[in-house]
A = this chain, B = another copy of it.
Amino acid sequence: MKNTSDILKQIAFDERGLVPAIAQHWQTDEVLMLAWMNRQAVEKTLSTGQVHYWSRSRQSLWRKGETSGHTQILKEFYVDCDGDTLLLKVDQNGPACHTGEKTCFFRKMDF
């Protein structure tokens, strides 16, 4: 896939081979979560349209929602100015957070 290899060239993976990926709901613009991708996660996400991440704790590839059913369908894929962060606009099925909340950012702090 020409596009996938072109996109991978734009990404500056860190010393662990990872890049942070922000998932944002494509319609509500709500920021849902941040997770990490390696090269393989990017490839699988682009080839299947289903968002895949790299689990740092389990050291394995996971398809978001593979156990919960709360999958993410990729709608738009952005690489930031210096290539070290991704922004994914996604169609989120069900809650994004493992707690059952719609987004992982449900804890607003008073300051």
| Residues of A bordering B, CB below 8 Å | 3-4, 6-7, 10, 20, 22, 24, 29-31, 33-34, 46, 74, 76-82, 85, 87, 97-99, 101, 104-111
Could you list 11 A-B pairs, sorted by A, with CB under 8 Å?
A10-B109, A22-B22, A29-B29, A31-B87, A74-B111, A80-B104, A80-B107, A81-B104, A81-B106, A81-B107, A85-B104
Shortest A22–chain B CB gap in Å is 6
A7 — which chain B residues lie within 8 A by C-beta? Answer: 109, 111
Copies of this polypeptide in the complex: 2
Chain A interface SS verdict (over half):
mixed
Q: Across the two chains, which residue of chain B brings its CB closest to A96?
A: B81
Complexed CA–CA distance, A111 and B74 (Å): 10
- Other A-B pairs beyond A3-B110, A34-B85, A74-B111, 9, CB < 8 Å: A6-B109, A7-B109, A20-B20, A46-B111, A77-B111, A78-B106, A78-B107, A80-B104, A80-B105
